[in-house]
């Protein structure tokens, strides 16, 4: 006689899926009812403290009321990010159609001390030529110490035909060598 095979029953689920407890993986979110007000540091005199109640965490101590994040210290309210201090929005153009051309270039007056010491050289000056052709700003970018002041004084006397962009005169920046030679 053959043994009868055992009948196996299908396994029964331990718990019904709907009644199985789901694990909680999230922390309860607590929402503050009121923002904490900043209180000035009592150990520092009020006139030595920086910031304002309407300021930004990203601001700088030298910033101003109404300033913009990313602005420049010394700028003005309502200015443009990336602007230039003292700029008017009509800044120098570097991609002009026609470059400035000299009309009047004066020779520098040799400083007496440099002449006595027989100092020669070339001072390179960065100049801002406005839309009328006048030099309105200058700064030394390659110096010969005893000759710098004379070079700056000279370039302010120079006159140019201004740079042209789209048929209109525009301000531009140029580098001007001012040579000093004893003959």
What mean pLDDT is predicted for residues 76-100? 72
Say how far apart CA 78 and CA 59 lie, in whole Å: 16
- Greatest Cα pair distance in the chain: 136
pLDDT over 70 percentage in the chain: 60
Return mean pLDDT, the chain.
80
Per mean pLDDT, which range of 26-30, 100-104, 130-134 is the poorest?
Answer: 26-30
CB-count exposure of residue 130 (10 Å: 0-12, 13-18, 19+): middle
Q: Where are the domains of the chain?
A: 101-180
> What's this model's pTM, rounded to 2 decimal places?
0.52
Kindly give the pairing relationship between strand 159-161 and strand 101-104.
Answer: antiparallel
CB-count exposure of residue 180 (10 Å: 0-12, 13-18, 19+): buried
Task: Please report which confidence band the pLDDT of residue 87 belongs to, taking 50, 70 and 90 as the band edges.
Answer: low
pLDDT at 154 over 90: yes
Q: What pLDDT is recorded for position 139?
A: 95
Looking at domain 101-180, which of 3.30.2420.10, 3.40.47.10, 3.90.1150.10, 1.10.10.10 is its CATH number? 3.30.2420.10
Q: What pLDDT is recorded for position 96?
A: 86
CA angle at 50 for the pair 31 and 82, rounded to the nearest 5°: 90
User: pLDDT tens across 58-71, in order?
Assistant: 677 677 777 777 77
User: pLDDT tens across 23-45, in order?
Assistant: 666 666 676 666 666 676 778 77
138 Cβ contact list (under 8 Å, min separation 6): 125, 126, 127, 128, 152, 155, 156
């Amino acid at each position: 006689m053959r043994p009868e095979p055992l009948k196996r029953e299908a396994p029964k689920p331990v718990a019904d899926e709907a009644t199985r407890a789901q694990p909680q993986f999230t922390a309860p979110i607590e929402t503050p009812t009121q923002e904490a007000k900043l209180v000035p540091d009592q150990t520092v005199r009020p006139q030595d403290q920086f910031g304002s109640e309407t300021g930004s965490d990203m601001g700088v101590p030298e910033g101003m009321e109404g300033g913009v994040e990313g602005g420049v210290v010394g700028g003005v309210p309502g200015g443009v990010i990336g602007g230039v201090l003292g700029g008017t929005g009509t800044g120098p153009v570097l991609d002009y159609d026609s470059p400035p051309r000299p009309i009047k270039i004066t020779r520098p007056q040799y400083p007496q001390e440099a002449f006595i010491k027989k100092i020669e050289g070339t001072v390179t000056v960065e100049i801002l030529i406005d839309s009328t052709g006048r030099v309105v700003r200058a700064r030394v970018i390659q110096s010969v110490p005893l000759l710098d002041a004379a070079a700056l004084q000279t370039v302010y006397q120079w006159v140019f035909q201004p740079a042209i962009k789209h048929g209109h005169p525009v301000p531009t920046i140029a580098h001007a060598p001012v040579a000093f030679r004893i003959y």
